[in-house]
Structures are given as structure tokens and as C-alpha cells.
Structure 1
Amino acid sequence: MGRLTGGDPSLLRRINSAVVLYALRAADSATLTALVQVTGLSRPTVEGVVEGLIEIGLVAETAAEEGGTRRQGRPARRFRFRAEAGHLLGIEIGSHRIAALLSDLGGRTLDSEQRPVDETVPADERLERVRTLVAELLRRAGVARRSLRAVGVGSPGIVEADGTVRLGTALPGWTGLPLGERLRRSFRCPVLVENDANAAAVAEHWKGVAVESDDIVFVLAGLSPGAGSLIGGRLHRGFGGAAGEIGALHLLGREATPEALLSTTGKPLTPLDEAQVAAVFALARDGDGQAREAVDRFIRRLVHDVAALVLALDPQLVVVGGWAAGLAGVLEPLRGELARYCLRPPQVALSELGEAAVSTGALRLALDHVEGELFTVEGTVTGRQGRPPVRGTSP
């Protein structure tokens, strides 16, 4: 296609189509008269655009409402955005579980599936289990694979713009894995791969505790904690996609690893062994002195690491998620530490989405991609979506 100019009729048609479609997506249904009023376009233009959108399956005519009549007494034609015209997937690939959410083009969740997986499972087998889980989810929901318009994926590690995992120590064989490319072969649609903490931050901003906050830090707490941040409502990845890797801060002059901090025997816990971690916290809740000291050490480290990130970013809200979100002892020490150092301490809250945060954020990335295709034309956005830009490539 040649370069489009300001007077290019093809560009104008595409802009008009995006404007009308955006207006229809924002309403349950609308008449031509209402669309003319909302878009500012002429009635013949709106009518032509709507007919074109019906032809490609993105719009459908609905039954007229009672009392909605034209001057001639005939019911006014009403139209709606066909959210069922395609589907989206949000996938979490974690150390101990894989999960997926299926939605329509409006982002409404239709079904979900999750399964446990051992942290020692090799990369190829882990990906095969993802494919099997998705196949079962689509089969149960009666959705054809060809109906998928985009897939979002949240995974541990530092992720390149093309979906390659540059560094991923939490999963075997993950470093250097071309995750986006591998999954695009399976799904035959755009696949957006993101760090799991980043995806969780997007999720809390979309449907969780951070809906009203545009400057947030989401802490995915664990033995190797990570953080995702939104600045002005936009996901901050950093130059190399490694922003928020607070799990590496112990390397800056600190010899004790998180596994050592949580030990009650003098021997570090096995890296990423959540069962051992859960056992230590259970002992602490039951009053075991050594376990309580270990948990206190871990919480102090986590609090200091989060405080360092907060001082750099000055967020409005800090959201704590991951398995540490269930610890009653996390929030107050964090609030106290931030009050000591911050001119205006941020709010601190637990995640509202819990274990669904990563897959929900991955789904939002897929939805952002489709919204960009439907509602953005040559850099002209038809409506204020207020969401972070997506990244990834089409197959």
C-alpha cells in the first residue's frame, strides 16, 4: 500500500469505520440517528459504514425496542457491536501452574481453565501442556481455534519485544526461548508475551484494586519477587524489559538470598520450592519461634526492596500479590517503611484478583491489541482507551 495522505478517501473510510465501530462498542445498541449524533458524521456516511461493518461480521442489526419509531411509524433500526465475532485468550505460564482465560472481543470472560505443573517440567513439555489446556478450554466452550484474534501470555523472566525470553531462571529451558514464535505457530494469530508481574499490574489497573490509579507498582511477592509498574496508566518496561526486577537487589552487597532468609535450619530452602515456603509460614502462624524469625527476616527484605522501587517511581498505589499476598504481616511493615522514607507515602493494598491476576493481565494485552486494530487508524485513535500499549507481532 502506498503512503496515505490527509485527503485519501481510503483513509477517511477507515477512520469513519473506526469511529462508528467505537461508538457501537460503547453502547449496548444504537440507532442510526444516535450514531450520527455521537460521531458527528452524516447520516448517509454512517449508514454506509454500518452496512460495511455488517458485511464483515463486526456489527449486527438487533430487534427494535418498543416505542422506538420513526416519523413514518416504522421501528427504528438498531445495531450492535458483535463481541462474539472473535475470541481472545489470556494465558499464564508459571512455575507451578498454567492457566487460561477465554473471552469475547469485549473482554467478557466466557470460560477458564487451570492445571498444576511441576517446576522441573522442561520447556517443550510445559508448552505442550499449555496447548492441551487451551484445546480443552476451546472444546468445552465450543469455540473454534480459528476464531482467536489475539493471545496474551504472562510468564516469569525478562521478555524481549518479539516475545523471546532473554532471561528466565524460574523455569527450566526458559532463557533464550522464542516463546512468542513458538506459540504463534500453534495459534496462528498475534501472540503478546509479557513478564508475569507486568501482566498482573495491567490486570489490577483493568479490573482490580488499581482501577482508579494510573501510577502503581504491583509486587509479585515470592522467593524471587518481581514488580510491574504503570506510569500515567502506561506499562513501564524499561529499556531492556527488565524494569522491576527487585528479586536481584540482594546481589547489591547482600550475601543472604531469600532462600537463606526463610530457612529455619541454617540450610537454604530449595529455590522456587513453594511447599517449603508454605511450611515455614504455617509454622510461623502456629507460633514457632524460629519460623517467625525467618518470616520477619523475609518480610524486612521484601519491604526494603519495594521501598527502593517506590522511592524511584513515586506511585500512588502499591499492590501486593503472589503467595505473600496472604500474609497479614506484609502490609503494615510496608506502610511503616514507606512512611519513613517517602514525602507522600503511597497507598498499600492486597491484590483483588489473587491468582487470576497474571492471566487476566495477559487477556487485557490481547484485548489491547485487538482494540488497536479496530479503533486506531494511522496513529489516529478514535476513543480514549487509557490502556498501556501492547507489543508483539502478527504471524
Structure 2
Amino acid sequence: MTELRPGDASLLRKVNTQVTLRALRREGVATLTQLGRVTGLSRQTVEAVLDELSERGFVKEVPPDEGVMGRPARRFGFRADAGYVVGVDVGGDGIVAALADLSGEVIAWQRAGVSGDAAAHERLEAARRTALTCVDSAGVARKHVWAVAAGTSGIVDRTGRVSLSITLPGWTGVDLAGLAGRWFGGTALAANDANLAALAEHWRGSAQHASDVVYVLIGHRAGAGILIGGRLHPGRSGAAGEIGTLRQVGWEDAARELVKDASAAEVFEAALRGERDAVCRVDRYAENLAIGASALVLAIDPDLLVLGGGYSRAGDVLLEPLRRHLAELCVSAPEVVASTFGDEGVALGAVRLALDHVEREILGL
């Protein structure tokens, strides 16, 4: 018989707690018997774990169903309202914030405009106010926010600092994670917006079925995020996917040409009506997008390419020529789909990033 070494009992308790908590989150509400069957643990072990989790505020006992005959079985549920996370998209012309419980259910959204040429401190203040208002409007105490994550354009390093921003004034060098940590007095993270939007698509959007994904964000700016094996691939410095910064790709020039004398919405609407000039203009834009996207596709060979950001709302008017040009440029072009989330994708991806931190560092999952 193998003897337990010092620390083994503690490790076993931790494993049992993780297994039980995962099962309870997955089941929603369950009895001791059900949890024992799902986890493979004894009833006594499950009961002891649930008692400990109840003391920590992560689990609650749920009243029995009405009309149950005899002595009802004890039922338990995960307390998704034990804590909350906030995801914030700090964009070029607007801020989007989302408040979610520990199950990932978004319970409040908040939006605010911000000038494209706003100074860094003005943009940060707008983000702070939007995040706080989002929490306050839901009636959640600020102290119950366990983590906040922010997404923004530019290259964001592993510490959450913006190491390079071409589009936002004074944004290079901003310690976005550090500053966001002051909003609620707790943990904060920051990442590139396209990466977070890719994370959202894989979590609950168009890329749930895919493992390797290229996400292209198009709108006032263009960028890309990469998932490999279902995980974000930011690269050594956070610059993975920033192919739009390569002048030869022509993404910035193509975006300017698209809207040289009309808004993007007007151009796409005209193309939808079949107006020749608009159709040609959209086709040239799609070709430029395809040149940059094909470089990523050829390097990664993804299962899926997701087109997101404001311009993705054009739908097949843009998707069809993009698919055609990708097929011409790629050895094996992936499926191309539009984003599920529109302007909410970055904030939702930030929610997922904050939840990942909470699950790993606080819930021990």
C-alpha cells in the first residue's frame, strides 16, 4: 500500500474541490448523489467539499422542488453571483463595457462615445467612467468585482502595457492594465482588441467549432487576432497578427480609398443595390484584405477566418468577394464567416479573459 507523503492529503482535497466545483458549474443544480456519480467521488467526500465551498461563498443550497414526496434530497448550486468581472473595449471613437457574473452571463452593458483625437488621459477617464457606470447601473457593489480586463488597438505586451499604438494619440506606453486595476481596486488585465474579439468568437460565437482561427477586425482600423489550438497566440511581444502595420499589405490605403467620398455604410449599401462604382470599390477593398489575410492563412492554415468589426456588418456584399480573392491566393482557403457580436465582441472577449483569471487564480480551476 502506498503511503501518503506530506502534502498529498492537501493536494487530494484541492483536486476533489476542483472536480466537484467544475461538475456543479456544468450541472447548474445537483444533488449529492448526482455529483458523486458525475465526479466519481464518495457521497461523504462530496458533502465535505460542498460544505467548504459554501463557507467560501461559492456554493448555495437550493430549496427542493415543490411537490416532492418524502424526504427531499439536498440540492446545491454554484453561486454565479458570488463575484463579477468587467470587460471593457477602449476603442478609437467609443467605449463599450460589459458586466458578467461568474457563469459568464452578461447582466449589463454600457456604452459611451469618445473623440478619435482625445488625449490618452481623456480616453482613460471615459473608460473608467463607463466601467463604473456599468457596474453601478446593475446594482452590484464595486467591491464584488473580482477582475477587470480591457481591450484596445495596438500592440499590448504580456504585462498589459501598450507598447505601440499608431492610431490613438499618446497611447503608446500606457500601462492599461495597471491603470484599470485602480478602477475597482483589484486585478486587471489588458490585451489587443482583435485578440479578445477572436477569444469571444471561440467562446460563444462563430468560431466555437474551430480550433485554429484567424480573426480579422475591420472598421476605422484593421487588425488581426490568432487562435491556435483554441488558445490565443499573441506572440513574444504581443504583435502576432499585426500584419496591417506592414505598409506593403495596403490595408490602411484600402480603407481610405473605400470611404474617400462616402461613408462605408453608404458604399456597402450602394454595392448591395448593384451600383457599378460601389461594387468595384468594395471588390478592391476585399482584394486588399485578402492579400493580408492570405499571408496569415498560409502561415497558420486555420480552420476558419472570421471577419469582425464595424465593416463586417456589410455581410455577403463584402464576404463574397473576400472569399473569391482568398481562394485565388491560398493553397487551401478556410471557411470565411462574419462575426456574431458586432461592436460587443472585444468587450465580451475581455469578459472571457477576466473570467479565465478568476477561474484559475480564485476558483482554482
Q: Output the TM-score relative to the length of structure 1.
A: 0.84
- Distance (whole Å) between structure 1 residues aligned to residue 251 and residue 307 of structure 2: 25
Residues 279-358 of structure 1 correspond to what in structure 2 (within 5 A)?
293-327=280-314, 328-358=316-346
Unaligned segments of structure 2, at least 5 residues: none
Write out the 4+ residue segments of structure 1 that deviate beyond 4 Å after TM superposition.
66-69, 275-294
1:32 aligned partner:
32
Aligned to 2:101: 104
- CA contact under 8 A between 1:152 and 1:365: conserved in structure 2? yes
CA drift of 1:343 comes to 3.6
8 Å CA contact 2:149–2:350 kept in 1: the answer is yes
Partner of residue 22, structure 2: 22
In the alignment, is the contact (CA less than 8 A) between 1:203 and 1:361 conserved in 2? Answer: yes
User: Corresponding residue for 1:57?
Assistant: 57
Give the match's secondary structure for 1:177. Answer: coil
When the two chains are superposed, the root-mean-square deviation of aligned CA atoms in Å is 2.5
Shift of 1:88: 1.0
- Once the 2 structures are TM-superposed, how far is the Cα of residue 241 of structure 1 from its aligned partner? 0.9
Matched-pair identity in %:
47
Inter-partner Cα distance in structure 2 for 1:295 and 1:342: 20
What runs of 5+ residues in structure 1 fail to find an aligned partner? 266-274, 382-395
Code of the residue aligned with 1:258 in structure 2: it is A
Instruction: Select which of 92, 95, 100 maps to 2:92.
Output: 95
Question: Which moved further from structure 2: 91-100 or 127-136?
Answer: 127-136
C-alpha contact 2:132 2:183 (8 A) present in aligned 1: no
Q: CA contact under 8 A between 1:303 and 1:333: conserved in structure 2? A: no
Tell me, yes or no, if structure 1 residue 372 matches structure 2 residue 360.
yes
- Whether the aligned pair in 2 keeps the contact of 1:200 and 1:358 (CA below 8 Å) is yes
CA deviations over 1:151-201 (Å, ceiling 9, x no partner): 121110100111000001221111011111111122222212110000110
> Does 1:199 pair with 2:196?
yes
Q: What's the offset of the Cα at 1:34?
A: 1.7
Change beyond 3 A, Cα 1:120–1:39: same
Higher helix share: 2
**Any conservation in 1 of the 2:251–2:288 contact (CA below 8 Å)?**
no
Contact 1:218/1:320 (<8 A) preserved: yes
Give 1:249 deviation, angstroms. Answer: 2.7
Aligned residue identity for 1:301: N
Residue 226 (1) aligns with residue 223 (2): yes
Once the two structures are TM-superposed, the CA of residue 334 in structure 1 deviates from its matched residue by 1.9
Q: Is the 8 A contact 1:163 1:193 kept in 2?
A: yes
Work out whether residues 61 and 78 of structure 1, in 8 Å CA contact, stay in contact via their aligned partners in 2: yes
State how far apart, in whole Å, the 2-side matches of 1:131 and 1:151 are: 11
Partner of 2:254: 258
Query: Contact 1:19–1:375 (CA<8 Å) still a contact in 2?
Result: no
CA distance in 1, matches of 2:347, 2:328: 35
- Residue type of the partner of 1:39? T
Query: 2:144 aligned to 140, 144, 147, which one?
Result: 147
